[in-house]
Amino acid sequence: MAKHHNKQAPHAVTFYSYPKLLFCWPLIAIGLLFRLIPESLANLEVMGWFYLLTVVMVILAVGVDIERNTAVFWLVVFGFFYFLGLWFQEAKSFTFFGNIYNWFANRDVQYNQSFGLVLSIFLIFPYAAMIIWARLQHKWRITHNEFEHFSFGRSDDSLARGAKRVRSTYPDLLELLLCGAGTLIVYSATGRTELRRIQHVPLLPLLRRRVDRILEMTAVTTTDAVIDEETEAEAEEASASPEPESETGDMDQENL
Q: Is residue 12 part of a domain?
A: no
Q: Is residue 89 domain-resident?
A: yes
Find all residues with CB under 8 Å of 164, minimum gap 6, and list them. Answer: 147, 186, 187, 188, 189, 195, 215, 228
Q: Within this chain, do residues 143 and 99 fall inside the same structural domain, yes or no?
A: no
**Phi, psi (rounded to 5 degrees) for 249:** -105, -10
CA terminus-to-terminus distance, the chain: 34
Decide if 150 is inside a domain. Answer: yes
Same domain, 30 and 109: yes
Query: Quick one: pLDDT at residue 5?
Result: 47
Mark whether 93 and 155 lie in a shared domain: no
Residue ranges making up the domain that contains 232? 138-241+249-255
More confident residue, 224 or 103: 103
> Residues 144, 204: one domain?
yes
Q: What is the pLDDT of residue 246?
A: 44
Average pLDDT rounded to a whole number, residues 96-115: 81
Distances (CA, A) of 227 to 165, 222, 232, 234: 15, 9, 9, 12
Model-wide pTM > 0.85: no
What pLDDT was estimated at residue 183?
93
Residues 110, 76, single domain; the answer is yes
Q: 211 and 117, same structural domain?
A: no
| 69 vs 164, more confident | 69
The band of 148, judged by pLDDT with boundaries at 50, 70 and 90, is confident
Total residue count of the chain as it appears in this document: 256
Return the closest-CA partner of residue 208 out of 231, 235, 176.
176
Strongest mean pLDDT among 37-41, 143-147, 151-155, 232-236: 37-41
pLDDT tens-digit series, residues 44-91: 988 999 999 999 999 999 988 888 788 888 888 877 777 777 676 677
Q: Give pLDDT, residue 6.
A: 45
149 vs 235, which has greater pLDDT? Answer: 149
What are the φ/ψ torsions at residue 22 (nearest 5 degrees)? -55, -35
Residues 148 and 237 in one domain: yes
Residue 5 lies in a domain: no
Q: Is residue 77 part of a domain?
A: yes
CB 159 within 8 A of CB 52: no
Are residues 100 and 42 part of one domain?
yes
Do 173 and 237 lie in one domain? The reply is: yes
Rounded to a whole number, what is the largest CA-CA distance in the chain?
75
Per the structure, the count of domains in the chain is 2
145 and 95 inside one domain: no
Same domain, 107 and 189: no
